[in-house]
Amino acid sequence: MGRPFRARLGANENGFGPSPRVIAAMSQAAGDVWKYGDPESFALRSALAARHGVGIGNIVVGEGIDSLLGLVARLYIEPGTPVVTSLGGYPTFNYHVAGFGGRLVTVPYDGDRENLEGLREAAIRERAPLVYLANPDNPMGTWWDGAEIAAFAASLPETTMLVLDEAYGETAPASALPPFDTGRPNLLRMRTFSKAYALAGMRCGYAIGEAETIRAFDKIRNHFGMPLITQAASLAALEDEAHLAATLDRIAACRRRIAGIAAAHHLKAVPSATNFVAIDCGGREIAEAVMQGLLARDVFVRKPATPGLDRCIRVSVGPEDEIACFEEAFGEALAAVHNRR
């Protein structure tokens, strides 16, 4: 629109920002960027392995989860391959599936959560070699308990690979994350530094899985793809546990703040385990009008397009000054919508 947003709350970024230690590590690494990064990301993978109690051979690092999803699509999909995901789930996964000629089989949400039983049935019915599940999910922010996720994974055929996207894993209750089971060849769990660690602009994601499953990535990945500075930044982010804890507190407080803004307008916020909150505006047309009203007031939010979910707008957490902008603009946008009626 030719002018900056007053509040950037639409891309599920983390406006609380990265650790000062990350900034320092990036300054430190800046002078070294004439060198290629380590193609093995050895230091980062070692630290991740220690953090999660898995082997370094159970981890592959990539240019964001998006990149790893592209590699998964390439590994598991041939033209016509059925791939199961939720209707309204992560569009970039669908993009990669389509790009490799896969056939998407979608299962509607059930009560604002991804439908585990429906996904399982579809995977079995279609003999799908690939199922995608986000926990917590995007765009609704809901989640399943880790025990239910583990049972879901165990219930899938051995010939079905489950991609469990835990991009929002850190912001979820610990109970939402099952323990790592790297003995299971048909499970890949994905994490990222883009959300809780506030490094979306550095591009670092990783997948954890059984060692042979992980080795398959080495046959096709862009070996020198991980920038040296991204490896340094991600490692520093992982090491600053105090900053992560403080960020998670701020995210949780901001979720409550956004839910409070919704409640002040007699609207319901969908319970969220992520760094965003879906606000139920009561219907698709109202939600669309409210989002347009917010954009017109230079407040960037987004909304799901999928029937059933499209009654919501999706508001990312952020610093209080941006949330205050949202609060004001949201009230104005709602009033304008109601005045039009």
Q: Please identify which residue in the block is written with the tokens 């000062």.
A: 20
Among 7, 116, 202, 273, binds a copy of itself (CB under 8 A): 202
In contact, 113 and 142? CB cutoff 8 Å: yes
Coil/strand/helix, residue 175: helix
> Are 184 and 210 contacting, i.e. CB atoms less than 8 angstroms apart?
yes
x/- letters, 92..111, toward a copy of itself (CB under 8 A): x------x------------
Quote the CA–CA distance of 157 and 188 in Å, as a whole number: 15
Q: How far is the CB of 271 from a copy of itself (least distance, A)?
A: 24
Confirm if 164 and 133 have CB atoms less than 8 A apart.
yes
Per CB under 8 A, 243 contacts a copy of itself: no
Contact (CB, 8 A) for 67 and 73? no
Q: Does the protein bind a copy of itself through residue 18 (CB under 8 A)?
A: yes
17 binds a copy of itself (CB under 8 A): yes
246 interacts with a copy of itself by CB under 8 A: no
Of 3, 34, 158, 341, which lies in the binding site for a copy of itself, with binding defined by CB under 8 A? Answer: 34
How many Cβ atoms sit within 10 Å of the Cβ of residue 333?
A: 25
> Which is nearest to 135 in space by CA: 102, 86, 63?
86
CA 176, 181, 184, 187 dihedral sign is positive
Please give the Cα distance from 132 to 82 (Å, whole number).
12
The window from 175-183, 224-232, 280-288, 297-305 that contacts a copy of itself (CB under 8 A) reads 224-232
Minimum distance from residue 238 beta carbon to a copy of itself (Å): 15
Site stretch for a copy of itself (CB under 8 A), options 15-23, 43-51, 113-121, 254-262: 15-23
Cα separation of 250 and 230, whole Å? 24
Q: What is the CA radius of gyration of the chain?
A: 20
Quick one: which segment of 116-124, 167-175, 193-201, 321-329 binds a copy of itself (CB under 8 A)?
193-201
The site for a copy of itself, by CB under 8 A, has a size of 46
Which range in 62-70, 146-154, 161-169, 256-264 contacts a copy of itself by CB under 8 A?
Answer: 62-70
Nearer to a copy of itself (CB atom), residue 195 or residue 303: 195
Binding mask 134-173 for a copy of itself (x = CB under 8 A): ----------------------------------------
Nearest to 272 by CA among 168, 153, 162: 168
Residue 36 is a binding residue for a copy of itself (CB under 8 A):
yes
Binding flag, residue 223, a copy of itself (CB under 8 A):
yes
| Count of Cβ atoms closer than 10 Å to residue 77 Cβ | 21
Of positions 136, 178, 227, 293, contacts a copy of itself by CB under 8 A: 227
99 versus 260: smaller Cβ distance to a copy of itself: 99
**What CA–CA distances, in Å, run from 333 to 10, 14, 296, 318, 325?**
16, 24, 9, 20, 12
Facing residues of 276 across strands?
A: 316
Minimum CB separation of residue 315 from a copy of itself in Å reads 16
Whose tokens are 């990149």? That residue is 67
220 contributes a contact to a copy of itself by CB under 8 A: yes
Residues in the chain: 341
Backbone angles phi, psi at 84, to 5 degrees: -100, 130
Per CB under 8 A, which of residues 65..84 are in contact with a copy of itself? 66-67, 70
63 binds a copy of itself (CB under 8 A): yes
Applying CB under 8 A, the residues found at the interface with a copy of itself are: 8, 11, 13-18, 23, 26-27, 29-37, 63-64, 66-67, 70, 92, 99, 194, 198-203, 219-220, 222-230, 233
